[in-house]
Amino acid sequence: MNGGDEVAAAPAGPPQSLDWKFSQVFGERTAGEEVQEVDIISAIEFDKTGDHLATGDRGGRVVLFERTDTKDHGVPRRDLERMEYPIGRHPEFRYKTEFQSHEPEFDYLKSLEIEEKINKIRWCQTANGALFLLSTNDKTIKFWKVQEKKVKKISDMNLDPSKAVGNGSIASSSTPKLCLANGGSPDRSYNYLGNDFSFPPGGLPSLRLPVVVTSQETNLVARCRRVYAHAHDYHINSVSNNSDGETFISADDLRINLWNLEISNQSFNIVDVKPANMEDLTEVITSAEFHPTHCNTLAYSSSKGSIRVIDLRQSALCDSHAKLFEEPEAPGSRSFFTEIIASISDIKFARDGRYILSRDYMTLKLWDINMDSGPVATFQVHEYLRPKLCDLYENDSIFDKFECCLSGDGLRVATGSYSNLFRVFGCAPGSTEATTLEASKNPMRRQVQTPSRPSRSLSSITRVVRRGAENPGVDANGNAFDFTTKLLHLAWHPTENSIACAAANSLYMYYA
Amino acid sequence: MAMIDEPLYPIAVLIDELKNEDIQLRLNSIRKLSTIARALGEERTRKELIPFLSENNDDDDEVLLAMAEELGVFIPYVGGVEHANVLLPPLETLCIVEETCVRDKAVESLCRIGAQMREQDLVEFFIPLLKRLAAGEWFTARVSSCGLFHIAYPSAPEALKTELRTLYGQLCQDDMPMVRRSAATNLGKFAATVEAPHLKVDIMSMFDDLTQDDQDSVRLLAVEGCAALGKLLEPQDCVAHILPVIVNFSQDKSWRVRYMVANQLYELCEAVGPEPTRSDLVPAYVRLLRDNEAEVRIAAAGKVTKFCRILNSELAIQNILPCVKELSTDSSQHVRSALASVIMGMAPILGKDATIEQLLPIFLSLLKDEFPDVRLNIISKLDQVNQVIGIDLLSQSLLPAIVELAEDRHWRVRLAIIEYIPLLASQLGVGFFDDKLGALCMQWLKDKVYSIRDAAANNVKRLTEEFGPDWAMQHIVPQVLDMINNPHYLYRMTILHAVSLLAPVMGKDITCSKLLPVVINASKDSVPNIKFNVAKVLQSLIPIVDQSVVEKTIRPCLVELSEDPDVDVRYFATQALQSSDQQMMMSS
């Protein structure tokens, strides 16, 4: 409809709805294959550049993917976005490596099993081509370094390798013994050896250094650099890096701790909502995130549906928040489920730090950090479920924790739902975009009709409900909505319109 | 194998293990790099070993750290200072690795080498290395470069100096906060090498940039630089440039910045001189002592003595003392605790009269604090106030405080006060001690917690050292030995332990006449644990007493124990007998 020039001339116009296409799937299930519990993906995260993607699963593994399509951009991304025709190139990833991040443990003091399930992954600053990331299960955070190492072969030893093996026990046991005999200080033990030994001034020509032949082959090696343990009494739900590049936070149900990446044996408690008497407990922390650029600002959400922004400069223990965001309860709408569904399962800062996206059970809300009277936009995710809340409560689905994400440009938001569906909404002013996609090779097949009106004003609820009624909980295949196939985890590529989402053990990637 | 002579074998192994698969062996080889270098000779070290290390730098961080350390002292092994430059390439690559401790060590080693290098070599090799790092692609290289400027700068020709200053300025504005932090940390060191005119212009503008950084962590480190810079500047420049910054910082929005100021402020007083101290720094410090954030007050309270030492006593009494009074009743126990740990040091500064009049009430109130750490901190520094006003004025309050701590229900508190008993004893004197504290020392020997009994036994020994064996014979030994009849075997064991500690201090006569009979008696105990501890104690007594006593008393007892039905008793008795045999062989 519009030429590129006209769009530029009329920037106020809302962006077009995106046409989502399937890109890739990793770990696709074959028909009839049963999903192993340990293979279910429990965390997804793109790194800052979008060149890498990490997933964590219930088996405690972290899998890394790397982008394979060309990394240099000839055409500025914004120009590409404006183009009418589908762009040939889109982010493509390939499996890079995987490693076992966490193992199941048993806390003998508390007689408690600690699952190996990865709750969150966060990428850290890349250095020297080595990748760094934080992964956490319920109790322990680990700092990983993943690095390519060239395969090396060593030859030309002083001692015949075959004989050296025979002498290996002598050789390897004699040297450490030397240290012990001389009491700890290795320097001294060398001196001892040196004094016994007189070297000719020109050195000993018969000795030679091993020759190392570097091959082109490389090996990816993941090493755990640090373990941040024993700082959480409750289950860790979030970790988040600070923009200063040296600290991060970890949040559990009642506390948020601040760590230095280089110091694993101490952390500082910065938020503590534990009441003196646990019977007075009414609210728990559900998610926490640092502001993307302001090192002193962080936000955390609660089970009562509020978001608190705190300023670390104010006080060492941030008991009082700088800002509180919550939506006043609509009069007369209170029910048994009101409090349960108000619980926020995830919050994310937009890249510029101005907006916060939150997900509660039924909705996505976008908040302006400068406006604490209410959300600037509310998106109904699966309003047709409202009559079914009772069933959802009985089968515990109502406590499912859906994640949410924002596009890099901040123009769209996305979150998951049941039956492996996820939804993308436009949040630019005037946008009516509200797309439902299915995590399958044909994402648009559920798009029976394209919603043309925004579904976020309250008046639209009835319409959406009606839309649900038109299509009463039955998917395109005629199956009833399936509460066991839920799409909890998804992530938006930081610079392009590409979404990675997890359906059980499969990772689906889409682009637009 | 055939090529390697037998004596060279260990060296050959060492060299081969530079590339062993086992990290412990690689680490071991790297630690002995100088041995390898000496075996190869200087020339081959330069031409082969160093390039070998440069090429093989993708090892584990532990190995790299050891390598960075060894290379720092490697100049003698490459043929002296004129060849020092060959050491730069391997250290340069270590300056780029991701692990901070390796980089820091590499920078430290580079500085050490650079400080010895000849001027023309610095210009030819060191400065280009510095420039490469400062322009490095990865932030790690740029972080490392900041720590090298102060070595390179003094030797650089004029044009290059300008370039280096510009380069440092760029690092202060780097995109990565890590680089800016490193620039802030090293600014003081670099500034110390820069000529005065540039100091006032270039360095101060860098300093200004850093003090206005968005990242709190950078500003924090800029505060640390304040004192270092202040000392370099002329007092009037310091007042003009640094003082406003620090006064500003003392009111920063971020409590962490104010915390740093509270820690650093006293260092700046000397740099600015007495008048600005009085007019600006004292008010700033008073504000910090009354800060809203407890952490800031803790830092400020902890520096009270150091700060007052710089001021004259009048100023201290007028301005600081009122705050100290407030802090002594602060709502945060940690603030009171920090204050208690330093406040005794104020007594010598204020002098006798002011101490009695002003400080004593504070001491007394802190001695009655509900939080044991506060009381402990006061008691631990008792000697400082004793020198000024004597102990008598305090002793009335001291005793209840000590008794209360001695009976605290937390054993760690009891443990802490036991540690101070010898200090108290020396300050309070024999008379006071006998009356009041003697009983406590005996009571601890019967504590329910092992660590306390253990410390109590040690305490008995230290008291004996303090007051001498005669005093101990009168006031300690009889009471201690009495307890050997305690019905509980754990308490009897404590006494055995105390005896083994006391014996060396008491000397052989008292040991033979008083201590030994008790131990020998205990060998008839019904509990095997007591019996094998008797064996252990007897073993420790052998070197103290005369050979005749060993023969007549100790050995027969041990022989008897070595035939005990209990295996452990037999074991320790045999051990003791063997050691007595050795003793005899040595002496004969």
| Facing B8 at nearest CB: one of A172, A207, A243 | A207
Q: Which residues of B touch A163 (CB under 8 A)?
A: 1
Helices in A360-448 by DSSP H: which ranges? 389-394
Classify strands A421-426 and A211-228 as parallel, antiparallel or unpaired: unpaired
Lowest mean pLDDT among A26-35, A349-358, B473-482, B538-547: A26-35
Answer for the pair A266, A250: CB distance below 8 angstroms, yes or no.
no
Four-point Cα dihedral B269, B271, B274, B276, nearest 10 = -80
Q: pLDDT: is B8 or A293 the higher one?
A: A293
Question: Chain A contacts of B139, Cβ < 8 Å?
Answer: 125, 127
Q: CB distance from B56 to chain A under 8 Å?
A: yes
Handedness of CA B31, B32, B36, B38 (dihedral sign): positive
Q: Using CA atoms, how far apart are residues A321 and B493, in angstroms rounded to an integer? A: 57
Is B292's Cβ below 8 Å from some Cβ in A? Answer: yes
Quick one: closest CA in A to B257, which residue?
A313
pLDDT at B49 over 90: yes
Q: How far is B514 from chain A (nearest CA, A)?
A: 39
By the CB < 8 Å criterion, does B546 face chain A?
no
Residue B358: inside a domain: no
Please, which residues 216-275 of chain B have a Cβ atom closer than 8 Å to chain A?
A: 216-217, 252-257
Residue A462 phi, psi (nearest 5) = -55, -40
- What CATH number did the domain enclosing B520 receive? 1.25.10.10
Tokens of A329: 């309860």
pLDDT at residue A190, rounded to an integer: 41
In a domain, B273, yes or no: no
Query: CB–CB of A50/A494 below 8 Å?
Result: yes
Asked if residue B521 belongs to a domain, the reply is: yes
B255 with A313: Cβ contact below 8 A: yes
Whether residue B41 has pLDDT greater than 70: yes
B40/A204 touch (CB, cutoff 8 Å), yes or no: yes
CB proximity B579 to A under 8 Å: no
Cβ distance of A203 and B44 shorter than 8 Å: yes
Please give the pLDDT value at position A77. 47
Q: Would an 8 Å CB–CB cutoff place B14 in contact with chain A?
A: yes
Q: So what's the pLDDT on residue A457? A: 39
**B residues 162-221 lying closer than 8 A (beta carbon) to A:** 176-178, 181, 214-217
| Chain A contact for B332 (CB, 8 A cutoff) | no
Q: How many CB atoms lie within 10 A of CB A51?
A: 19
Which of A432, A427, A415 has its CA nearest to residue A378?
A427
Interface test with B, best of A162, A167, A207 (most B CBs within 10 A): A207
Q: Which domain holds residue B560?
A: 468-587
Fold adopted by A22-70+88-141+226-448+480-511: Methylamine Dehydrogenase; Chain H (2.130.10)
Residues 117-156 of B with CB under 8 A from A: 138-140
CA distance B155 to B162: 12
Average the pLDDT over B453-465 and give the result: 93
**A262 → closest Cβ in B31, B45, B100:** B100
Who among A200, A201, A316 is closest to B255 (CB)? Answer: A316
pLDDT score at A144:
96
- Partners of B96 on chain A (C-beta within 8 Å) are 128
Indicate whether B79 belongs to any domain: no
ipTM of the complex model: 0.79
Total domain count, chain B: 1
Compute, in degrees rounded to 10, the torsion defined by CA atoms B128, B131, B133, B136.
-120
B584 touches chain A (CB under 8 A): no
- The percentage of residues in chain B with a pLDDT greater than 90, rounded to a whole number, is 57
- Contact by Cβ (8 Å): A54, A136: no
Tell me if B18 and A210 make a contact (CB, 8 A cut-off): yes
The total number of residues shown for chain A amounts to 512
The ranges assigned to domains in chain A are: 22-70+88-141+226-448+480-511
- Which of A27-36, A231-240, B217-226, B529-538 shows the lowest per-residue confidence on average (mean pLDDT)? A27-36
Cβ-based contacts of A225 with chain B (< 8 Å): 99
**Consecutive H or E run containing A429:** none
- Amino acid A13: pLDDT: 63
* Residue B178 pLDDT greater than 70, yes or no: yes
- Tell me which residue of A417, A425, A420 sits closest to A439, measured CA to CA: A420
Question: Does A150 sit within 8 Å of B18, measured CB to CB?
Answer: no
- Asked if A206's CB is within 8 angstroms of B4's CB, the reply is yes
CA nearest to B10 within chain A: A171
Distance from CA of B346 to the nearest CA of A (A): 29
Contacts B178 to A, Cβ<8 Å? 125, 245-246
Q: Residue B389 domain-assigned?
A: no
Nearest CB to A149; choose among B38, B58, B178: B58
CB B576 within 8 A of CB B564: no
Contact A313 B216 (CB under 8 A): yes
Contact B98 A132 (CB under 8 A): yes
At B114-168, the pLDDT tens digits run 999 999 999 999 999 999 999 999 999 999 999 999 999 999 999 999 999 999 9
User: Which residues on adjacent β-strands are paired with residue A309?
Assistant: A299, A323
pLDDT of residue B130: 96
Q: How many CB pairs under 8 A join A and B?
A: 159
Question: Rounded to the nearest 5°, which phi and psi values hold at A259?
Answer: -120, 155
* pLDDT over threshold 90, residue B396: no
pLDDT score of B498 more than 90: yes
The count of other CB atoms within 10 Å of the CB of residue B26 is: 21
Q: Terminus-to-terminus CA distance in chain A, angstroms? A: 18
Q: B58: which chain A residues are within 8 Å (Cβ-Cβ)?
A: 149-150
Report CA Rg, chain B: 33
* CB-CB neighbors (< 8 A) of B253 in chain A: 313-314
Q: Cβ B52–A209 below 8 Å, yes or no?
A: yes
- The C-alpha R_g of chain A, in whole angstroms, comes to 27
**Residue B6 contacts A, CB cutoff 8 Å:** no
CA atoms within 13 A on the CB side of A471: 19
| Separation between Cα atoms, residue A240 and residue A466, nearest integer Å | 40
- Out of A159, A175, A296, the one facing B4 most closely (by C-beta) is A159
Task: Please give the pLDDT value at position A79.
Answer: 52
Give the residue among A67, A55, A205 at the shortest CA–CA distance from A135: A55
Confidence check: pLDDT of B434 > 70: yes
User: In tens digits, what is the pLDDT along chain A, a chain of 512 residues?
Assistant: 444 444 344 445 667 788 899 999 998 887 778 888 999 999 999 999 999 999 999 999 999 999 987 654 444 444 544 544 445 578 899 999 999 999 999 988 888 899 999 999 999 998 888 899 999 999 999 999 998 888 877 777 777 655 544 344 334 433 433 333 333 334 434 444 444 556 777 777 778 888 888 778 888 889 999 999 999 999 999 999 999 999 999 999 999 999 999 999 999 999 999 999 999 999 999 999 999 999 999 999 999 999 999 999 988 888 888 899 998 877 777 888 998 999 999 999 999 999 999 999 999 999 999 998 999 999 999 999 999 999 999 999 999 999 999 999 999 999 999 999 999 999 988 888 999 999 988 877 655 444 444 444 333 333 333 333 334 344 444 445 778 889 999 999 999 999 999 998 999 999 98
- Measured CA to CA in angstroms, residue B455 lies from B121, B495, B518 at distances of 59, 12, 21
8 Å CB contact between A512 and A497: yes
pLDDT at A319: 80
- Cα(B308)–Cα(B320) distance, integer angstroms: 8
Pick the closest to residue B203 from B194, B213, B216, B212 (CA basis). B194
Residue of chain B minimizing CA distance to A196: B7
CA distance A266 to A231: 8
